[in-house]
């Protein structure tokens, strides 16, 4: 998708296996109890836009990659971000708020040049997962 947004909302479900979603100059929004699951070498690439997970949405990524460059990752209002054997790179800020749950197992999480912040009852569980923040880390 070029110069447009991708939205999964209103309880929508997407299960991708070896799938590739690329968004240039647009946002990706998962909301309203939607479930998006990428597995087996899938990728989500966002260039020049934000990645929002909100309002009870779930994003599950297994053996895949997530890249957000020129934008931010924002998760709030009971959202779930679950990474399993997934490399995630964010070239902006990461803000996890309002009871977000962020699980990462056997993954790599790199935040390059931005702030990684958590507030309002965010829960994080990392197992065998390094977190690299080349900016500020703020956990409240």
The model's confidence at residue 113, banded by pLDDT at 50, 70 and 90, is: confident
Backbone angles phi, psi at 88, to 5 degrees: -125, 130
- Give the torsion sign (CA, 50, 42, 130, 102): positive
Q: For residues 56 and 78, is the Cβ–Cβ distance under 8 A? A: yes
d(CA 23, CA 32): 21
pLDDT tens profile 78-111: 999 999 999 999 999 999 999 999 999 999 999 9
d(CA 98, CA 54): 9
């Amino acid at each position: 998708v070029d110069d447009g947004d991708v939205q999964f909302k209103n309880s929508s479900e997407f299960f991708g296996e070896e799938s590739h979603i690329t968004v240039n100059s647009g946002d990706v929004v998962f909301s309203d109890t939607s479930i998006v699951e990428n597995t087996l070498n899938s990728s989500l690439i966002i260039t020049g836009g934000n990645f929002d997970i909100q309002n009870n949405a779930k994003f599950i990524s297994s053996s895949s990659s997530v890249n957000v460059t020129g934008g931010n990752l924002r998760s709030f209002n009971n959202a779930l971000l679950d990474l399993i054997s997934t490399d995630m790179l964010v070239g902006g800020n990461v803000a996890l708020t309002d009871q977000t749950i962020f699980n990462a197992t056997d993954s790599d999480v790199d935040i390059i040049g931005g702030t990684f912040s958590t507030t309002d009852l965010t829960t994080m569980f990392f197992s065998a997962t390094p977190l690299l923040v080349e900016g500020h880390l703020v956990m409240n």
